[in-house]
């Protein structure tokens, strides 16, 4: 997604089941003239519906909520396409929650005890196409990457996408085959490129072939 037009504020949806958090974040963002809160959801189900209704640029997503949790809501919002960039805003800093959120389409991961300006900066970064991470979370991600070989952290869906890239299938066809949007394919590819250490589609295809992700019949 491209950064929002400069002549309008960044449209933000807040999803959290704790009223004090919703109010606190809302008050914080009121002081930022370039940010507009367009909706407040109390659970994942409501967040999904509000995304369709208000089309925010950025969604601040709590992970533990009733009915539909933040991980599932993130996955469904990203799968639906339309552009919202989901940033997890949670109290969980463990590797499992971080990996699950990012694997399901979140572009960033912020902690609720972050400094107020860090949350505001994270929203702006996400709207600009970047991936904001709280420093403590970034350290966890770096440690994980150091202990894993290239490609070991790819999700099953990312391996499917990479195998199809290796077979020469274009993005639109990958989207049709896997039942996801072209934007989701691009999001997966961005994460895949970072994970396997390549910079473009051709290099990714060669990597997939070298590592046996492409069957001979698909060549």
Tell me the backbone φ, ψ of residue 80, rounded to 5 degrees: -70, -20
Nearest to 190 by CA among 154, 137, 219, 166: 154
Mean pLDDT along residues 110-125: 95
Neighbours of 53 (CB within 10 A): 11
CA distances from 79 to 72, 136, 159 (A): 10, 28, 17
SS3 content of the chain, % helix, strand, coil (to 5): 55, 15, 35
Is residue 9 exposed (0-12), middle (13-18) or buried (19+ Cβ within 10 Å)?
Answer: middle
Tell me the backbone φ, ψ of residue 131, rounded to 5 degrees: -125, 90
Judge if pTM exceeds 0.85: no
- 3-state SS assignment for residue 113: coil
| Domain coordinates in residue numbering, the chain | 10-146, 156-211
Q: Is the pLDDT of residue 114 over 90?
A: yes
Answer for the pair 56, 13: CB distance below 8 angstroms, yes or no. yes
pLDDT band at 156 (very low <50, low <70, confident <90, very high): confident
Nearest to 103 by CA among 136, 50, 63: 63
High-pLDDT (> 70) share of the chain, % = 89
Report the pLDDT value the prediction gives residue 121, as an integer from 0 to 100.
95
User: What CATH number should be reported for the domain whose range is 10-146?
Assistant: 3.40.50.2300
Nearest to 131 by CA among 162, 91, 88, 71: 88
pLDDT band at 143 (very low <50, low <70, confident <90, very high): low
pLDDT band at 217 (very low <50, low <70, confident <90, very high): very low
Q: Is the pLDDT of residue 144 over 60?
A: no
What is the spatial distance between Cα 180 and Cα 185, in angstroms, rounded to a whole number? 7
Report the pLDDT value the prediction gives residue 166, as an integer from 0 to 100.
87
Q: Was domain 156-211 assigned CATH 3.40.1280.10? A: no
Token pair, residue 170, equals 């274009």
Number of H helices, E strands in the chain: 10, 5
What is the spatial distance between Cα 73 and Cα 168, in angstroms, rounded to a whole number? 31
């Amino acid at each position: 997604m491209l950064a929002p037009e400069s002549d309008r504020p960044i449209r933000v949806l807040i999803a959290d089941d704790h009223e004090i958090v919703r109010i606190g974040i809302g008050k914080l963002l009121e002081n930022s003239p370039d940010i507009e809160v367009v909706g407040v959801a109390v659970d994942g189900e409501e967040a999904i519906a509000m995304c369709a209704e208000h089309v925010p640029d950025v969604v601040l997503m709590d992970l533990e909520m009733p009915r539909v949790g933040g991980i599932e809501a993130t996955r469904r919002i990203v799968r639906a396409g339309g552009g919202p960039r989901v940033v997890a805003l949670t109290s969980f800093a463990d590797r499992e929650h971080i990996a699950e959120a990012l694997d399901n389409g979140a572009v960033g991961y912020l902690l609720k005890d972050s400094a107020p300006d860090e949350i505001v900066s994270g929203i702006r970064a996400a709207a600009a196409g970047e991936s904001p991470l709280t420093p403590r979370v970034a350290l966890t991600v770096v440690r994980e990457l150091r202990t894993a070989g290239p490609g070991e952290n790819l999700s099953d869906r990312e391996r499917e996408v990479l195998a199809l890239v290796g077979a020469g299938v274009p993005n639109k066809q990958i989207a049709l085959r896997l039942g996801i949007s072209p934007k989701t394919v691009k999001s997966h590819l961005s994460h895949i490129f970072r994970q396997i250490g390549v910079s473009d589609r051709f290099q990714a295809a060669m990597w997939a072939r070298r590592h046996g992700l492409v069957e001979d019949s698909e060549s």
